[in-house]
């Protein structure tokens, strides 16, 4: 299960640390901390996610968004964060979950994968709202709330066999990642 409180604390600590960091460092931190946190995600039957290893695209999107904001004298708003939004949605596209624990009514696993990677456009407004908070704890809380809300929109299909074992594969839809 994803431990959102740990991610929130990690983000808060990163933002409060006044040591020398570049926006590239922060982009890498945001991408890697997100990927590490969600790597503990499970479907409704507690089958774990197989980390897709796409955090490099999330990092690149953060870097681009930070660079665009640095070049502007005014806040760029929600559109600036859409590449990060898209990268997180892409992270979940066709992500695989372990099929080890059968979803009822199946008894033998075949596959378990994401078929809807979450609501596109749902993350960027939360990122924009987070960075308007200006205090590390509030920024962290808003980012994590946004991530958690998005994860709730991810949907998948578990494929398994029902008795008798020679039966046709049966799809069992699931929604949300724990």
Report how many domains make up the chain: 1
Residue 87 lies in a domain: yes
Give tens-digit pLDDT for 113-127.
999 999 999 999 999
Residue 15 lies in a domain: yes
> What is the model's pLDDT at position 165?
67
Residue 166 lies in a domain: no
Spell out the residues 6+ positions from residue 5 whose beta carbon is closer than 8 angstroms to its own. none
Strand order in the sheet with 108-117: 49-50, 96-97, 108-117, 154-161, 169-175
Record the tokens describing residue 159, joined without a space: 């494929």
Residue 102 lies in a domain: no
Q: Domain range for residue 124? A: 4-97+118-156
Record the tokens describing residue 60, joined without a space: 């690149």
Cis previous bond, 43, omega within 30: no
Residue 109 lies in a domain: no
Residue 111 lies in a domain: no
Give tens-digit pLDDT for 18-59.
889 999 999 999 999 999 999 999 999 999 999 999 999 999
Residue 113 lies in a domain: no
> What is the model's pLDDT at position 166?
63
Record the tokens describing residue 48, joined without a space: 């774990």
């Amino acid at each position: 299960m994803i431990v959102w409180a740990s991610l929130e604390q990690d983000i808060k600590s990163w933002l409060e640390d006044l040591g020398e960091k570049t926006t590239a460092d922060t982009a890498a931190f945001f991408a890697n901390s997100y990927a590490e946190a969600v790597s503990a995600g499970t479907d409704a039957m507690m089958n774990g996610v197989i980390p897709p290893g796409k955090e490099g695209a999330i990092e690149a999107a953060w870097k681009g968004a930070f660079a665009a904001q640095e070049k502007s004298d005014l806040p760029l708003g929600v559109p600036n964060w859409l590449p990060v939004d898209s990268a997180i949605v892409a992270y979940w596209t066709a992500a695989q979950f372990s099929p080890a624990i059968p979803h009822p009514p199946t008894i033998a696993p075949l596959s378990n994968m994401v078929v809807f990677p979450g609501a596109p456009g749902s993350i960027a407004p939360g990122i924009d709202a987070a960075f308007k908070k200006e205090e590390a704890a509030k920024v962290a809380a808003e980012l994590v709330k946004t991530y958690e809300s998005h994860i709730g929109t991810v949907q998948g299909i578990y494929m398994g066999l029902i008795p008798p074992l020679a039966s046709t594969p049966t799809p069992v839809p699931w929604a949300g990642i724990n």
